[in-house]
């Protein structure tokens, strides 16, 4: 029973993965390739840490050349990365990168798996990584991935022997893979998993090495490669009109949020894998050496193999439906083999081939993209047989109903049938949002309790239809998830997954509200109806010491999809304080506290994410001098909005507007993150910025990466950036110049201002500077020497030049009080004298 449920889940999730924007259909070449793949019973699991770590050249080669069932196990969903295509960070970025991986796998033919490990940001050492992750849980998930996918061969992207030389997540992924290899076949390890699956021993384990592991091609050429296998991953596939490396480039170009869009590659190229563990190889270049990857591998498989090999050898490209009798014969034999694993895997493949050969078109579309429990939805079913085969639609089952709907209709060639059916979404339906975000995660781990969900890329679709068919007399059930199909005049036909959403959701306009004094603020709550005729009220949950008026506000929304905005007045406490507020919508006695976030990009399917609606409120003790701030944008950050929240007037200065006259008006100019890495105009404009300082201005430069600085004169004095960073957000900060004005005016900065920081202290600190600079702070990760370049100040002419690698851009959106207070001091630099005179 449990096994059945698992198979069903895996099965459904794969169908959904195939459904990008449009359902996948196969041409003759693709059917032929699917038949070739059907005849290979071998599998490869590629393991690394992040979305975009995977070597798509090798994954594509294993999938398209070797024809192995190939999967990529990414331990994390990449929440800790940057987002180059939009504002989503953290969990929402993890959702985007999950979908980018699925898009990459649709391109290179692989499958996708995950663990519950959370990408918490950069980690210098695997020891730290494994401490922040729950090592035992992540190891359990790697074991689970191996026991359920059952790979013959595992290939690690990273070298387990290089702790401390690369991202700790990378090395940890390789270390966990090695550890798992030794225990997956031991029933005493993680025995609870064996309620749902069986033990498994992969045959061998490799490391996907490369010349860059050895510093240079020359060094690599000199190596003894007797324990390595090599593959030409530049193979040309005539049936696709593409070479393997071209496919690989298309796949890795799906990682658009990481700026991976790139040119394709062609021509012969070698990849190397180094043997690490398992049964040693003779000299053959076959990773499956010693494993029978033909149908003879499974008991009862020989007869199936004979039929399917003949289909492959005599494949009819003009009319693939001619093979239906043989395919159906193989299908019947396959249902009776004892090996559950291969039966499940190959049945899914074979069904897709049968469906494609018959030119079957089966689709269920809803009249709405989403619906709440207990609401009614109209479904349109399209059923079409585009072959001359004898096919009957016996019945169909809606997943929301216990019983099927009998049809007993013959599907005449190319005569489309349309049915309409109304369904009521069951009251107890679970929402379709990403399952790993259902409950709060920790810094290191997602919290998923259901063993059968662990590792799945997506939440299995809740509403689907089983079409029960008789194809040439053989009963076959084909399952389709409900989709929403629509068109736009300027875009054409579009698809979205059909979602089950709460009857009501609420969101706050900001993630953080900063109160720079004890004045009250009005906060807007947007309530959105997930069904028609919503009436109820909304109230706020808020921390002790704060006050919110009024207590309750009435909600009345007539139509699904409409919103109602209500305003609450929030009064902060008299002293520094922080907490969180949550709008709670009460409908018929039940509270709803989630917000719905929609993610819409063209390279991935439309995503609907549900997250607890919660914002941070912070009462700051903060003093400010100067009000008029100019901001020159870099790679994108929310620093301008954050400064506006504490009352500054922030003007965005476009590169072409950087002129002496324009700069003159500002109390301070702030450079956005990585501005000197990406803004070409700064080559010509930097002198105006330095002149602005000389004339008494105050220039604050946030972090830039050490490589690819566009200007030669980053600072008025010698200043060299490095890769020094402090990744521990709690690392002790030592104040080097306690009497320096920047640390005393107008706010007295102390160690308490470095409490509650998130993700890291800072990055790309300068490591060399001329004597004009004063370093104000020192910090370091454990086991490293002191880094003193986090905050450097120099007088230049009448003004102040300030360079800081501190991660203000991360701390502001997290509402970290000390970060605001310190930044207010940076903006106030040099204002002390004038204030004193005024007083
Ligand atoms: Zn990585």
pLDDT per residue over 495-528, tens digit each? 999 999 999 999 999 989 999 998 999 999 999 9
> For residue 349, how far is its CA from the centre of ligand 1 (angstroms)?
31
Residue 307 has pLDDT above 60, yes or no: yes
> Which segments of the chain belong to CATH 2.60.40.10?
359-499, 504-619
Q: What is the pLDDT of residue 285?
A: 77
Please list the residues that pair with 548 across neighbouring strands. Answer: 570
> For residue 741, how far is its CA from the centre of ligand 1 (angstroms)?
41
> For residue 74, how far is its CA from the centre of ligand 1 (angstroms)?
9
Who's near 4: CB < 8 A, 6+ residues apart? none
> For residue 173, how far is its CA from the centre of ligand 1 (angstroms)?
10
Residue 7 has pLDDT above 70, yes or no: no
Evaluated on CA atoms 202, 203, 205, 210, the torsion sign reads: negative
Q: What is the pLDDT of residue 6?
A: 39
Alpha-carbon span 622 to 818, nearest angstrom: 9
Domain 504-619, CATH number (from 2.40.160.20, 2.60.40.10, 2.30.110.10, 3.60.10.10): 2.60.40.10
Q: What is the pLDDT of residue 83?
A: 87
Residue 754 has pLDDT above 90, yes or no: yes
Average pLDDT rounded to a whole number, residues 279-303:
92
Domain 628-828, CATH number (from 3.40.1000.10, 3.40.50.720, 3.30.200.20, 3.40.50.880): 3.40.50.880
Q: What is the pLDDT of residue 4?
A: 38
> For residue 448, how far is its CA from the centre of ligand 1 (angstroms)?
23
> For residue 169, how far is its CA from the centre of ligand 1 (angstroms)?
7
Tens of pLDDT, residue by residue over 67-102, are 999 999 999 999 998 888 888 989 999 999 999 999
> For residue 81, how far is its CA from the centre of ligand 1 (angstroms)?
9
> For residue 117, how far is its CA from the centre of ligand 1 (angstroms)?
13
Q: Is 158 helix (H, G, I), strand (E, B) or coil?
A: coil
Q: Is 388 helix (H, G, I), strand (E, B) or coil?
A: coil
Average pLDDT rounded to a whole number, residues 103-116:
98
Share of the chain above pLDDT 70, in %: 97
Residue 240 has pLDDT above 80, yes or no: yes
> For residue 454, how far is its CA from the centre of ligand 1 (angstroms)?
21
Tens of pLDDT, residue by residue over 638-678, are 999 999 999 999 999 999 999 999 999 999 999 999 999 99
Question: Higher-confidence residue: 189 or 82?
Answer: 189
Residue 11 has pLDDT above 60, yes or no: no
Closest CA to 306 of 286, 288, 333, 284: 333
> For residue 119, how far is its CA from the centre of ligand 1 (angstroms)?
10
> For residue 608, how far is its CA from the centre of ligand 1 (angstroms)?
26
Q: Is 437 helix (H, G, I), strand (E, B) or coil?
A: helix
Who's near 519: CB < 8 A, 6+ residues apart? 572
Alpha-carbon span 763 to 790, nearest angstrom: 8
> For residue 43, how far is its CA from the centre of ligand 1 (angstroms)?
24
Is CATH 3.30.70.920 the classification given to domain 39-293? no
Cα first-last separation, the chain:
81
Average pLDDT score, the chain: 93
As a CATH number, domain 359-499 is 2.60.40.10
Chain centroid to CA 719: 36
Average pLDDT rounded to a whole number, residues 466-484:
96
- Among 354-363, 398-407, 674-683, 816-825, name the one with the lowest average pLDDT: 398-407
**Phi/psi class of residue 555: alpha, beta or left (left: φ > 0; alpha: ψ in -120 to 50)?**
beta
> For residue 52, how far is its CA from the centre of ligand 1 (angstroms)?
7
3-state secondary structure 69-92: EEEEEECCCCCCCCCCCCCCCHHH
> For residue 452, how far is its CA from the centre of ligand 1 (angstroms)?
26
Q: What is the pLDDT of residue 760?
A: 93
Tens of pLDDT, residue by residue over 582-626, are 999 999 999 999 999 999 999 999 999 999 999 999 999 999 999
Predicted TM-score (pTM) of the model is 0.88
828, two tokens: 């106030």
> Which segments of the chain belong to CATH 3.40.50.880?
628-828
Average pLDDT rounded to a whole number, residues 268-291:
91
> For residue 281, how far is its CA from the centre of ligand 1 (angstroms)?
30
> For residue 123, how far is its CA from the centre of ligand 1 (angstroms)?
11
Residue 804 has pLDDT above 90, yes or no: yes
Q: What is the pLDDT of residue 833?
A: 62
Q: Are 813 and 511 in contact (CB under 8 A)?
A: yes
Alpha-carbon span 724 to 589, nearest angstrom: 54
Q: Would you give the DSSP letter of residue 232?
A: E
> For residue 76, how far is its CA from the centre of ligand 1 (angstroms)?
9
> For residue 800, how far is its CA from the centre of ligand 1 (angstroms)?
38
Average pLDDT rounded to a whole number, residues 559-586:
96
Q: What is the pLDDT of residue 599?
A: 95
Alpha-carbon span 156 to 67, nearest angstrom: 19
Q: Are 295 and 304 in contact (CB under 8 A)?
A: yes
> For residue 387, how far is its CA from the centre of ligand 1 (angstroms)?
47
> For residue 86, how far is its CA from the centre of ligand 1 (angstroms)?
20
> Which segments of the chain belong to CATH 3.40.50.10320?
39-293
Average pLDDT rounded to a whole number, residues 378-392:
96
Tens of pLDDT, residue by residue over 418-457, are 999 999 999 988 899 999 999 889 999 999 999 999 999 9
384 CB-side CA count, 13 A: 12
> For residue 730, how far is its CA from the centre of ligand 1 (angstroms)?
23
Average pLDDT rounded to a whole number, residues 810-820:
94
> For residue 53, how far is its CA from the centre of ligand 1 (angstroms)?
5
Who's near 510: CB < 8 A, 6+ residues apart? 615, 645
> For residue 56, how far is its CA from the centre of ligand 1 (angstroms)?
14
pLDDT grade, residue 836 (50/70/90)? Answer: very low
Alpha-carbon span 140 to 134, nearest angstrom: 10
């Amino acid at each position: 029973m449990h096994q059945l449920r698992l198979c069903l889940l895996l099965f459904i999730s794969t169908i959904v993965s195939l459904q990008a924007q449009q359902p996948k259909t196969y041409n003759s070449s693709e059917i032929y390739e699917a038949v070739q793949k059907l005849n290979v019973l071998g599998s490869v699991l590629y393991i690394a840490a992040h979305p975009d770590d995977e070597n798509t050249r090798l994954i594509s080669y294993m999938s398209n050349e070797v024809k192995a069932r190939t999967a990529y196990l990414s331990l994390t969903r990449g929440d800790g990365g940057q987002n180059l295509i939009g504002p989503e960070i953290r969990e929402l970025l993890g959702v985007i990168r999950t979908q980018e991986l699925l898009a990459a796998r649709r391109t290179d033919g692989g499958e996708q798996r995950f663990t519950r490990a959370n990408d918490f940001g950069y980690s210098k050492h695997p020891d730290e990584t494994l401490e922040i992750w729950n090592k035992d849980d992540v190891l359990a998930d790697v074991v689970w991935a191996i026991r359920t996918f059952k790979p013959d061969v595992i290939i690690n992207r990273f070298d387990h022997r290089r702790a401390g030389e690369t991202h700790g997540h990378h090395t940890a992924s390789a270390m966990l893979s090695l550890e798992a290899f030794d225990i997956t076949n031991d029933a005493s390890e993680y025995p609870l998993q064996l309620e749902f699956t069986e033990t498994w021993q992969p045959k061998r384990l490799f490391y996907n090495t490369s010349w860059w592991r050895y510093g240079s091609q020359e060094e690599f050429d000199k190596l003894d490669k007797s324990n390595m296998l090599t593959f030409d991953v530049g193979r040309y596939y005539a049936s696709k009109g593409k070479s393997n490396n071209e496919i690989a480039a298309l796949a890795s170009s799906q990682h658009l949020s990481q700026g991976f869009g790139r040119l394709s590659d062609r021509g012969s190229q070698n990849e190397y894998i180094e043997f690490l563990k398992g049964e040693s190889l003779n000299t053959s270049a076959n990773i499956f050496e010693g494993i029978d990857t033909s149908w003879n591998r499974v008991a009862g498989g020989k007869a199936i193999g004979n039929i399917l090999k003949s289909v492959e050898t005599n494949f009819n490209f003009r009319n693939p439906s001619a093979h239906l009798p043989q395919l159906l014969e193989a299908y019947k034999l396959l249902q009776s083999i004892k090996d559950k694993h291969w039966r499940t895997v190959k049945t899914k493949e074979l069904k897709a081939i049968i469906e494609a050969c018959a030119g079957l078109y089966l689709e269920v579309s809803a009249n709405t993209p989403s619906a709440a429990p207990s609401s009614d939805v109209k479904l349109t079913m399209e059923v079409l047989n585009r072959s001359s085969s004898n096919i009957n639609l016996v019945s169909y089952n809606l997943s929301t109903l216990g019983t099927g709907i009998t049809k007993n209709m013959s599907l005449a060639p190319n005569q489309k049938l349309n049915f309409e059916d109304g369904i009521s979404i069951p009251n107890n339906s679970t929402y379709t949002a990403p399952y790993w975000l259902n409950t709060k995660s920790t810094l290191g781990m997602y919290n998923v309790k259901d063993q059968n969900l662990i590792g799945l890329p997506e939440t299995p679709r809740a509403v689907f239809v089983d079409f029960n068919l008789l194809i040439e007399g053989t009963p076959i059930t084909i399952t389709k998830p409900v989709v929403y199909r629509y068109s736009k005049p300027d875009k054409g036909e579009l698809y979205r997954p059909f979602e089950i959403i709460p009857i009501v959701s609420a969101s706050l306009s900001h993630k953080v509200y900063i109160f720079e004094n004890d004045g009250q603020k009005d906060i807007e709550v947007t309530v959105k109806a997930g069904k028609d005729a919503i009436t109820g009220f909304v109230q706020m949950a808020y921390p002790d010491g704060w006050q919110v008026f009024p207590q309750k506000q009435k909600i009345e929304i007539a139509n699904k999809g409409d919103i109602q905005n209500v305003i609450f007045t929030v009064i902060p406490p008299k002293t520094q304080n922080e907490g969180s507020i949550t709008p709670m919508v009460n409908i018929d006695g039940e509270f709803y506290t989630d917000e719905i976030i929609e993610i819409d990009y063209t390279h991935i399917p439309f995503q609907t994410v549900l997250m607890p609606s919660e914002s941070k409120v912070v009462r700051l003790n903060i003093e400010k001098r100067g009000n008029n701030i100019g901001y020159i944008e870099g790679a994108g950050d929310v620093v301008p909005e954050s400064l506006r929240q504490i009352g500054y007037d922030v003007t965005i200065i476009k590169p072409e507007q950087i002129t002496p006259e324009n700069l003159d008006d500002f109390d301070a100019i702030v450079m956005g993150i990585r501005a000197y890495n990406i803004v070409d105009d700064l080559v010509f404009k930097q002198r105006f910025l330095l002149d602005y300082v000389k004339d008494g201005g105050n220039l604050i430069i946030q972090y830039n990466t050490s490589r690819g600085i566009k200007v030669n004169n980053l600072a008025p004095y010698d200043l060299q950036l490095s890769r020094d960073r402090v990744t521990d957000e709690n690392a002790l900060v030592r104040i080097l110049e306690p009497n320096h004005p920047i640390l005393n005016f107008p706010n007295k900065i102390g160690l308490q201002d470095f409490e509650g920081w998130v993700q890291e202290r800072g990055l790309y600190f300068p490591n060399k500077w001329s004597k004009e600079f004063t370093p104000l702070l020192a910090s370091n990760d454990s086991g490293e020497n002191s880094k003193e370049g986090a905050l450097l100040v120099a007088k230049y002419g009448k003004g102040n030049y300030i360079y800081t690698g501190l991660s203000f851009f991360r701390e502001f959106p997290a509402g970290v009080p000390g970060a605001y207070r310190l930044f207010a001091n940076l903006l106030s630099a040099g204002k002390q004298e004038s204030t004193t005179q005024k007083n």
